[in-house]
Amino acid sequence: MSKKKKKKPTKFKKVTITISTRQKKSLLNYCKSRKSTPNKVIKKAIRPLLENYHDLELNPSSAKVNQLQLFTIE
């Protein structure tokens, strides 16, 4: 018999956001009308942002172009 490989458990991170009372009421009403939960609605809304940028390379030279060059070596 072949042995099944155990799956590596997925690690989750906790994120906290703050919303106003009116925003919370609106979110709960939206969830109730769609028969969903606030967590699912928020995850569905930000999923495109989270999926597309995990391999993004940041530019190491993020210095502003208009910086004063006092000590330039040429």
Q: Is residue 61 part of a domain?
A: no
Q: Is residue 37 part of a domain?
A: yes
- Closest of 12, 7, 20, 9 to residue 50, by C-alpha: 12
Give the whole-angstrom CA distance, residue 41 versus residue 18.
16
Q: Which domain holds residue 43?
A: 21-49
- pLDDT at residue 46 in the model: 92
Whether the model clears a pTM of 0.75, i.e. scores above it, the answer is no
21-48 residue pLDDT tens:
999 999 999 999 999 999 999 999 999 8
Q: Is residue 2 part of a domain?
A: no
- pLDDT at residue 62 in the model: 57
Q: Is residue 62 part of a domain?
A: no
Q: Is residue 36 part of a domain?
A: yes
Number of domains in the chain: 1
Q: Is residue 38 part of a domain?
A: yes
The better pLDDT of the pair 41, 6 is held by 41
